[in-house]
Amino acid sequence: MDILDGGAIEPGQTPLYTAEQVRELDRRAIAGESDGFALMHRASGVAWRWLKARWPATKSLTVFCGGGNNGGDGHVLAALAATEGRQVQRISLTPRERLKGDALRAAEMADDAGVGFIEWREGLRVEGDVVVDAMLGTGFAGDLRPTYAAAIAAINESRCPVLAVDIPSGITADGGAEPSMAVRAVMTVTFIADKLGLHTGRGAALAGEVVVESLGVDALAHDDITPTAWRLQSSLVNLALPPRERDMHKGAAGFAGIFGGAPGFGGAALLAAEACARVGAGRVLLATAPEHVGASLVRCPEVMARGVTHASELDELLDRLSVLAVGPGLGQGSWGQSVLQTALKRSIPLVLDADALNLLVSRFADQRRDDWILTPHPGEAARLLETSVAEVEADRPGAARALQQRWGGVIVLKGAGTLIAGPDGLALCPFGNPGMASGGMGDTLTGVLAGLMAQGQAPGWSLERTARLGVLVHALAGDMAAREGGERGLLASDLASCARKLVNPTMGEEDAAATR
């Protein structure tokens, strides 16, 4: 995994853990306490402080409590809020006689603070300025019991802002899946260590702002508990792209090829080629159907556009390339099949996307390589794994790992909380926005990846690390473009100029005078 000598975090990434790993850290933390209830009290106090900071005008709140330690956190938070003069409605999904251990002790603390105990029943009105979700926690898996499903529905229908304690109820902590329904939170305060499921799939959509509170536990100090994944930070871009030497020439910046744009499908390949050039590839060759060459020359004359009628015309071009991307606008007809077949015969680093992935399944299923990056969306991932989209989304990390094991190389599983799986493990990109759910975004990512691969990175950088960087640059470019013009109407073509700014050292988005 990406740990530097001496056990420190590699710059530009932070650790993510599974629910079981965090439970083990929690057990160790409790073992170090003279009283395990003290850790619960500390967690509840932190959550209460975040609630006040986020909603300072709160005068009343409703706290939903489950039967375990997550529910205990809710009971203690209710007690703290009442002690400070807030009106609290405490709703328990577990009858009082079934509470035990620290959860019972927490409920009694709320009793002593004068907070009423209401057992959940359908039709109960949710009151208060803010709702606190402390029902299920990270141990949830499988289907919701009807009582919890009804309570979650009531919370979401109340339209009150929600603070989730540790994780929104109904979300799986390891995969970010929503098996049936889940609480939609505005903020999630999670404890001990960050959880993978809060940042990918439905978890990314429903957790809102995620705050990690370690409660004094240093997860990385436990050498026997290896993080399950790494969350990428924006600082990785500057760390990965040192300034260029002043005598740099285009040959030293690589020669990238974009093969795609079957007859009638030219736009995708043009988007990929422009993005490839904008992130700094020294030369970019676009091999496409002849009818698209004119459009390429008008759009980006710096790209060397070559009209290709037969795949045999590609041989001389391949000899000159340092990296090749195949797929945008490729189609699954004879033109696309022959282009991909020609590319696969060469031992050149590849980026495959779109119809190149579909053709892998239907025509080239015997392939497995260590020198390629595959960039499927969930539908393409399902085809590559011969499963369903629902199964992919039910366990996105598991699907990414399975894809890497089956096909080799590096896998970029696109979606909310894009995952990058390679020989070193799993990384997650927390950036990007809903405006990027539009045509051509994947083609732009393909171009960004090819352009960065062509240039090569700092000493020690691998294909996997380059994939992480490319995904990060693409997502951050989407966020920059959204800030400039909004999410609705965001086009893939808006990202190229933003990506250029990101791969150059800047003093801010307004100043891109320096170069890489």
CATH number, residue 142 = 3.40.50.10260
277 known ligand binder:
no
CATH number at residue 278: 3.40.1190.20
Binding site annotation covers 226?
no
DSSP letters, 406-463, are HH-SEEEE-STTEEEEETTEEEEE----GGG-STTHHHHHHHHHHHHHHH--STT--H
For β-strands 323-326 and 255-259, DSSP reports them as parallel
Same domain, yes or no, for 151 and 265? no
Q: Is position 238 annotated in a ligand binding site?
A: no
pTM of the model: 0.93
Q: Are residues 222 and 260 in the same domain?
A: no
Q: Any known ligand binding at 228? A: no
Q: Of all helices (H) and strands (E), which one includes residue 342?
A: helix 334-344
Instruction: State the total domains in the chain.
Output: 2
In a 3-state reduction of DSSP, which class is residue 193? coil
Say yes or no: 215 and 259 in one domain.
Answer: no
Residue 510 pLDDT: 52
- Let me know if 512 is exposed, middle or buried by CB neighbors in 10 A (0-12, 13-18, 19+): middle
Whether 417 has a binding-site annotation, put simply, is yes
Q: Both 45 and 140 in a single domain? A: yes
Instruction: Clarify whether residues 188 and 283 are in a common domain.
Output: no
Residue 415 annotated in ligand binding: yes
Residue 153, marked binder: no
| Residue 31: per-residue pLDDT | 80
What's the maximum distance between 2 C-alpha atoms anywhere in the chain? 82
Same domain, 208 and 335: no
326 within a domain of the structure (yes/no): yes
Q: Give residue-wise pLDDT tens across range 41-93.
A: 999 999 999 999 999 999 999 999 999 999 999 999 999 999 999 999 999 99
What does the block give as tokens for 152? 């979650």
Q: Rg of the chain's alpha carbons, rounded to an integer?
A: 26
Residue 43 in domain: yes
Does one domain contain both 218 and 260?
A: no
The domain of 101 spans: 18-226
Residue 416 annotated as lining a ligand binding site: yes
Plot region of 117 (φ>0 → left; ψ -120 to 50 → alpha; else → beta): beta
Q: Has residue 509 been placed in a domain? A: no
355 annotated as ligand-binding: no
Q: What does the pLDDT read at residue 1?
A: 32
Is there a single domain that holds both residue 414 and residue 275? yes
| Residue keyed to tokens 């003069």 | 85
**Residue 139 assigned to a binding site:** yes
6 is in an annotated binding site: no
- Binding site annotation covers 234? no
Ligand-binding site membership of 443 (annotated):
yes
Any binding-site annotation on 85? Answer: no
Residue 67 lies inside a defined structural domain of this protein? yes
Same domain, 352 and 470: yes
Same-domain status, 466 and 332:
yes
Q: Is 336 annotated as a binding residue?
A: no
Question: Distance between CA 337 and CA 363 in Å, rounded?
Answer: 8
- How would you classify the pairing of strands 229-232 and 162-165? unpaired
On whether 142 is known to bind a ligand per the annotation, the reply is: yes
Is 143 a known ligand-binding residue? yes
Q: What is the mean pLDDT of the chain?
A: 92
457 burial (CB, 10 Å; 0-12 / 13-18 / 19+) is middle
Q: In this structure, are 217 and 260 located in the same domain? A: no
Residue type present at position 209: E
Residue in the block written with tokens 């195949």: 326
304 & 156 share domain: no
Cβ count within 10 A of residue 343: 24
Instruction: Report yes or no: 212 and 16 within 8 Å, Cβ to Cβ.
Output: no
pLDDT in tens, 103-159: 999 999 999 999 999 999 999 999 899 999 999 999 998 889 999 999 999 999 999
| Contacting residues for 218 by C-beta, under 8 A, at least 6 apart | none
Known binding residue 414? Answer is yes
Helix (H, G, I), strand (E, B) or coil at 271: helix
Among candidates 74, 214, 93, which has minimal Cα distance to 131? 74
Say if residue 140 carries a ligand binding annotation.
yes
Q: What is the DSSP string of 29-49?
A: HHHTSSSTHHHHHHHHHHHHH
Q: Rounded distance, CA 458 to CA 72, Å?
A: 49
Spans in the chain with pLDDT lower than 50 = 1-7, 507-509, 512-516
